[in-house]
Amino acid sequence: MGGEMLYVLRQRLKAQKIDIDKTIQVLDDVTIALLNPKILSSIFEASPMIEIPQLRSTLESVALSSIMKLDKSSMDKLFDLMIMMVKYQLTAATGPREVILIILNHIDAMRDMVSDVNAQKCVSMVHQMIINFYGCLTFDEIWNARQSCLNELESYNVRVSILLRRSLQNDDASFNITPQKYNEKYTEHRNILASMRIKDVSPETCCGGSFDAFGDRKTLLGKNIYLPTYGITESTRRDSQQLLRDCGVKAELGMLAVQLGTEETNYERPFTLNLLSNMDEEIVNKAIDAEENNAKQNNSENEKPKLNEDYRAKLDTVYADFFDDENEGLKRSMDLLDLLDEIE
């Protein structure tokens, strides 16, 4: 859930064009607080499951570790997002190894987000703790822990816009579980694997997925769903890169042909910029047509054309907007409610 918190914060900080230095500070501070050994010690010890109110209190203190203000409404919204994303990922998981891979995908994202040396060390330490702890558990122990978590989250049913847009959630807040390339099919092999420890079974037996620090996790679950590249596989990315290279070569050959005089140039503007709304444009066009008709009727082609006053006012407004300072600077305390605006 802490990883999902970082995903949301990063998305909103970027969307609102927050100063890069402030963004780095927030992500570093929150990550370091999240991976505090005092917090992690209770997770990696044999103890009863942490209750939701206690978990919320811990995550709230983590969010407050940086330069953000946090009111109840903000935390409610952030907590609902974290809860529902984790609930979706656990629901969609196809086996115990994928549950671990989901955690490692969050760890990988943390490693990519932070720049502070201490934060990087914390991420590496936690990665090793996860491998050591879960590797000694049996398949069924992890699968039963997953089910216990889902039982705790059963009462939480909140619609999340990103899941709705990707057709992963229905209007009633239930999930659409679509088949993915990664599929352990644990229910089919449970009789064989149930009592075996994770570290004693070859990854290839369970659809692959590396536990190494920079390994290929194979599964999308646990990755940052707010990124535009979410869902793009390595093969698709390679195909896209090859297409771009091919287009680049074709463009260079075309330019060479023009320079050699073997091809005619036909320059076209890539697009027409319209600074007015459709209604405003229609009004302006009608005004211009009327002026042209009057000019023809009065044989006054040589007169200086008059500019529509409404059109002039709109141009002045647009011109002024270009010089408005969009980045007035981030105040010492940022309101998280503003950052979370439009998430759902």
* DSSP-derived secondary structure for 142-188: HHHHHHHHHHHHTT-----HHHHHTT-B-TTS-B-----S----HHH
pLDDT confidence of residue 43: 75
The total number of residues shown for the chain amounts to 344
pLDDT confidence of residue 294: 58
Encode the chain (344 residues) as per-residue pLDDT tens digits. 899 999 998 888 888 888 888 888 889 989 988 888 777 777 777 777 888 988 888 888 888 888 877 678 878 888 999 999 999 999 999 999 999 999 999 999 999 998 888 888 888 889 999 999 999 999 999 999 999 999 999 999 999 999 999 999 999 999 999 888 899 999 999 999 999 999 999 888 888 899 998 899 999 999 999 998 888 755 444 554 555 555 566 566 655 655 555 444 443 433 333 334 444 444 444 444 555 555 555 554 444 444 445 544 444 444 344 434 433 444 444 565 555 544 44
pLDDT confidence of residue 224: 94
The span from the CA of 107 to the CA of 112, in Å, is: 9
3-state secondary structure (DSSP) of residue 267: coil
Decide if 86 contacts 1 (C-beta within 8 A): yes
pLDDT confidence of residue 243: 53
Decide if 173 contacts 158 (C-beta within 8 A): yes
Q: Which two tokens stand for residue 226?
A: 């707010």
- Residue 138, beta-bridge partner list: 197
Decide if 334 contacts 3 (C-beta within 8 A): no
Q: Is 69 exposed, middle or buried (0-12, 13-18, 19+ CB in 10 A)?
A: middle
Decide if 207 contacts 218 (C-beta within 8 A): yes
